[in-house]
Amino acid sequence: MPNRETAGNPGGGTDIVPAGQSRSSTQSIFGSLIDAISQIQQFAVIERTGQDIPDDFLTIRGKLNFFNMGFGNGFLEGLIFALLTALTLPVISDDGLNLWVERFFPMARSKFFLWSLTCAPIIITGGICCFLSKYRIGVLTRNAVDSLLTGRLISLAIKGIVIFILLVFLSSHLTPETVWKAAYGISLQKREVAEVIYRIIWHIKPHLIPTAYRTLLVFCTAALTPFFSIWLVSFCRRIRRRQLELYQ
């Protein structure tokens, strides 16, 4: 037929794959997470038609591309989280800075809002990854989704551990002398500005250890939630199939 091409099946049958979904398409390098999800959606369309697709249709290179996309996206999530934490933690820790920021941005008075803002990139991407459970329906989509989420999980785990160690290290090495030297250098040796910076940094210190543990919790939750979502959806599908079998 003009709109299909066949691939050999080791079991002796014939696997039907729509044109445009050749083996080379499973080895493409994705430009963004949306591109990877779009490819998974195309795989799901194939599998929903009931076509028999061999396990090796998604090659090692294809799985590695999904893994790399998940790893890179997880690294970007962690980087944005770290930058937003560096911006919001001083505002949360120091009342004087909080009052100054509040004049321009009234929502800064809410610590819950500031923490939600910090976690927003991870929450959004985590929600998108949970959405993938809808398309994890067959061998091909399982391989693609699992590779993508595993890459993201490993990346978030590494980033979370690095941030945790860094915050603990800073907490144990911030002394009045080192803080003053840092503040004096940052202020370009202007004493009044240095005193303000010193006050802000010193007020941050008690918050470093709680923030370190909170970061681990956020990263673990963000990494594991998509897997839990997949398990829950798969469990519901099994129950639905059993109910249909009972009624037949």
Instruction: For residue 28, give every residue at least 6 positions away whose Cβ sits within 8 Å of its Cβ, in sequence order, or none.
Output: 39, 65
Q: What is the pLDDT along the chain (248 residues), one digit of tens a residue?
A: 344 444 444 333 334 444 444 444 555 678 888 888 889 988 888 888 877 677 778 888 988 999 999 999 989 988 999 999 989 999 988 888 888 888 888 888 888 888 888 888 888 888 888 888 888 888 888 889 999 999 999 999 999 999 999 999 998 888 889 889 888 888 888 888 889 999 999 999 999 999 999 999 999 988 888 888 888 887 887 788 787 777 76
Instruction: Please state whether beta strands 4-8 and 14-18 pair in parallel, antiparallel, or not at all (unpaired).
Output: antiparallel
pLDDT of residue 182: 87
pLDDT of residue 241: 77
pLDDT of residue 154: 93
Structural tokens at position 154: 């490993």
What is the CA 94 to chain-centroid distance, rounded?
30
pLDDT of residue 158: 92
Cα separations (Å) of 143 from 7, 28, 61, 125, 236?
19, 15, 12, 20, 20
pLDDT of residue 240: 81
pLDDT of residue 55: 73
Q: Helices 60-93 and 139-173 sit at what angle, rounded to 10 degrees?
A: 30
What are the DSSP calls for 23-36, one per residue?
GGGGGPPPSSHHHH
